Structure 1
């Protein structure tokens, strides 16, 4: 497994590892690094990916300068290496929504996490990160996303998941591939919270969707989010 690094926006990097054994056509596991005065990592990857992800960060900034460790919800592929990064970066802190901290992270994280209120903004110095609670969207009670206000990048976690190994960014429609991935994995909570969250995120009018599994999207991201909401509304 080889990790690829791509800059998807100004000083925002995507680290991608393709695992051909997952699903019918392979699957990517993506992490995102925001190179700011207070550097931020969105998704840590599983513990087995820690050597590759930390090496990718080190090619941009020393790993020990990492300040914020973040992820969408509590799963191995999103935060499995959390405590390894806390050990490698002595000033790093996990930042998550209040619910995620209360339910899991106050106990799981080796240092106390920072609790973020819905819509709270973290000024990283050069980038501004908005925390948005999305409970049960696409799954897990403590789910959330991050929105980088200066570049318009929406770190949307498992939303818009696709199979295969595409480019880091595409302007091609991802809604149909996301629907096919849902047919394979059935990973999304089919309830009203999902389309409601997608419509809410569309109101941000993001410039880029940073997707955890599959390609990111540039173009009319608001329309893509609304179209995906329609897919789930129809499936309900």
Structure 2
């Protein structure tokens, strides 16, 4: 395996590792994102077995010990499996996440005490500002949350729009259709009545770029893509309710 490096917005870099054996022959990409600034931030750490690849990729852009912030969508191996490896190589780094994620998992599992973020709280990276957004159970995990980088209007959107395959680093093509197909295959989302509203709240940020964890980053009409995804989840929730007689 190898890890690709691509700049998907100004000073925001995508590290992408394609794992072909997952849902073969399509495969699945695992992406992490580095937001450069006076206090660099890594969104997603990747699982522990990918740590050497991702660490070496980050080192091509900056000394890894400069890393200041580590955050991710939710507590899961591909999101934060190597957070303690990162804390070991970056002595000033802090894990930052929402109250639920910290209280339920990270205060115990992280080797250094994490910073608890309130919904809407800003982390000032120097030349960049990132805003933390609580998105409970969207797409799964009650501790789920995302990051919006305000300078470039980039939404680091975790598992939203998950799709299979090894596409380009950045696309203006369809990301909604492949995401619907992946949901049909894996049923990975925690369907709940609030999903559509939560995703439309993200669309209201009017992001210019969507940074997908599993799939290409998107530089097309991001609010429209989020609205279409919200509509599909509303449809799924209605069908699920009908199936149980609600």
C-alpha distance in structure 1 between counterparts of 2:194 and 2:54, whole Å: 32
The answer to whether the 8 A contact 1:29-1:45 is kept is yes
Q: Does 1:40 align with 2:45?
A: no
**Which residue matches 2:213?**
212
C-alpha distance in structure 1 between counterparts of 2:44 and 2:195, whole Å: 21
**Which residue matches 2:6?**
6
The one-character-per-residue Cα deviations of 1:168-198 (angstroms, maximum 9, x if unpaired) are 1110111010000001111011112321211
**Which residue matches 1:80?**
81
Moved over 2 A (4+): none
The one-character-per-residue Cα deviations of 1:9-47 (angstroms, maximum 9, x if unpaired) are 111000000000001410000000011100100000000
C-alpha distance in structure 1 between counterparts of 2:108 and 2:179, whole Å: 34
C-alpha distance in structure 2 between counterparts of 1:76 and 1:219, whole Å: 30
SS of alignment partner, residue 44 of structure 1: coil
Query: What is the deviation of 1:146?
Result: 0.2
**Which residue matches 1:152?**
153
C-alpha distance in structure 2 between counterparts of 1:84 and 1:212, whole Å: 20
Query: What is the deviation of 1:131?
Result: 0.1
Larger Rg: 2
The one-character-per-residue Cα deviations of 1:177-236 (angstroms, maximum 9, x if unpaired) are 000000111101111232121100000000000000011111210010000011111111
C-alpha distance in structure 2 between counterparts of 1:189 and 1:201, whole Å: 18
C-alpha distance in structure 2 between counterparts of 1:220 and 1:27, whole Å: 24
C-alpha distance in structure 2 between counterparts of 1:206 and 1:86, whole Å: 30
SS of alignment partner, residue 52 of structure 2: helix
**Which residue matches 1:228?**
229
- Number of aligned positions between the proteins: 236
SS of alignment partner, residue 8 of structure 2: strand
The answer to whether the 8 A contact 1:135-1:193 is kept is no
C-alpha distance in structure 1 between counterparts of 2:23 and 2:185, whole Å: 8
Question: Structure 1: where are the runs of 5+ without partners?
Answer: none
**Which residue matches 2:114?**
113
The one-character-per-residue Cα deviations of 1:134-178 (angstroms, maximum 9, x if unpaired) are 000000000000000000100000001111000111101110100
> What CA RMSD, in Å, does the superposition of the two structures yield over aligned residues?
0.6
Q: Does 1:161 align with 2:162?
A: yes
SS of alignment partner, residue 155 of structure 2: strand
SS of alignment partner, residue 161 of structure 1: coil
TM-score, scaled to structure 2: 0.95
- For residues 12-91 of structure 1, what are the structure 2 equivalents within 5 Å? 12-24=12-24, 25-91=26-92
C-alpha distance in structure 1 between counterparts of 2:66 and 2:127, whole Å: 15
Q: Does 1:128 align with 2:129?
A: yes
TM-score, scaled to structure 1: 0.99
